[in-house]
Structure 1
Amino acid sequence: MLENLFNLVQQQAGDAIINNPAIPNQHNEEAVKEAGNSVIDSLKNALSGGQINDVLSMFANGQANASAPVVQQATGNFMERLQSKFGLNSSQASGIAQSLIPSVMNQLAQKTANPNDNSFDVQQIFNQLSGGKTAGMNMQGILNKLKGGLDSDRDGDVDLQDLKSLFAGGGSVLDKLKGMLG
């Protein structure tokens, strides 16, 4: 997954990194790597921080818009890395991060949701993000159930009750999901 993610970032990095004079050419590869690490770290933090709904929704819907909390976190994370590692000012870092990270995350979500694209496997992604804690779970099955909407009890919010209703009689799956979150 990591190699494919870095390739995806590289493909999207054109004007944001590769053709950007704010990042010297000798640092392009490192900047691409930092962008990929920002995405991975933000997804891991979202899962461990209780934002599983955001991550599941992104992969279930096959899209990640720039205003989604996990996308905003990844964008901010990359912005900070650009400032600290490459000495960019906040305006430069913000412009680069906002032009690259939302598009990378949207492509990641689209590719993962596309059954004809095997470059990203949702099971591998979740296994890697959770440190292997989702290995016994059918993440694609979970996402398929979620595609109809996360608010399954139609109470106006997405919470543990919605997940429980998705796994009626499947407490072991729910227990694994809770265990994945810490």
Structure 2
Amino acid sequence: MLDQLSALVKQYGDDAIVNNNAVPNQYNQEVLDEASSSIFTGLQQVLSQGGTQQLAEIFQGDNAASSNNAVVQQLSQQLSGNLGAKFGLDSATASGLAGSLVPKVLGALIGKAKNPNDSSLQISDIVNAIGGSNNSGLMDAISQYGAQFGLDQNNDGKVDMGDAMAAVNKKGGLGGLLGKFFGK
């Protein structure tokens, strides 16, 4: 997951960082690295502070790309502060850069994980990377949201492989089930 995150930061960071006159050229790579690191550690912090529900919400619809999302705001503020402290960027520049970059990168990362045509990154990869051995709460929260969206096909109170098998056997199949879950 870290490789995909870094690639997305580089992709979106070229305009926000490299082509930004307010960021001294000698810091371009370091600022890109800081953005990747801040997003990753920020996601870990949200989870460690009990934000499993907030993290589960970023997997719904386009929440990960919304600057109104609480997780996106928290990550943007953290990155902004780090850019100011480590590279001396003024608060307006750091805030603008973070506010532009974080929603794009996080939205693209979650979008990539939710894309059934792209097997390079799965939701479980993100959950395992940010949660490590403490990911069951996040998976439970994602499962709970799945139940709220009608994904609990066998009505056992959780979303699991049994629901996937039931969905495949129903009209609409697995594609219909995943479409419901990911708001498509």
Short-chain TM bin: 0.7 to 0.9
Q: Secondary structure at the match of 1:82?
A: helix
> What secondary structure sits across from 1:131 in the alignment?
helix
Please tell me whether the aligned partners of residues 144 and 158 of structure 2 are also in contact (alpha carbons under 8 angstroms).
no
* 2:99 counterpart of 1:98: yes
Aligned residues: 154
What SS does structure 1 have at the residue aligned with 2:59? helix
- 1:98-117 to 2 correspondences below 5 Å: 98-117=99-118
Structure 1 pair 22/129, CA: closer, same or farther in 2 (3 Å)? same
Change (3 A) 1:101 1:3: same
1:59–1:143 CA contact under 8 A, matched in 2: no
Q: SS of the counterpart of 1:73?
A: helix
User: CA, structure 1 residues 18+48, in 2 after alignment: closer, same or farther (shift >3 Å)?
Assistant: same
Structure 2: runs of 5+ lacking an equivalent: 160-184
Give the equivalent residue in structure 2 for 1:73: 74
Specify the alignment match of 1:83 in structure 2.
84
Match of 1:54 in 2: 54
Query: What TM-score do you get using the length of structure 1 for normalisation?
Result: 0.73
CA distance in 2, matches of 1:147, 1:26: 49
Query: Do the aligned residues in 2 keep the contact of 1:60 with 1:113 (CA within 8 Å)?
Result: no
Pairs within 5 Å for 1:1-182 = 1-61=1-61, 63-64=63-64, 65-134=66-135, 142=143, 145=146, 148=149, 165-166=157-158
TM-score, normalising length: structure 2: 0.73
- Greater shift, 5-14 or 60-69, is seen at 60-69
Between the two proteins, what is the percent identity of the paired residues? 36
The Cα of 1:22 is off from its aligned counterpart by 1.6
The gaps in structure 1 that reach 5 residues or longer are 153-163, 168-182
Q: What is the distance in 2 between the residues matched to 1:38 and 1:147? A: 31
Checking the alignment, whether the CA contact within 8 Å between 2:63 and 2:69 is kept in structure 1 is no
Deviation at 1:62, TM superposition (A): 5.0
Contact 1:66–1:72 (Cα < 8 Å) also in 2: yes
Tell which structure's C-alpha radius of gyration is larger. Answer: 2
- Give the residue type in structure 2 aligned to 1:71: V
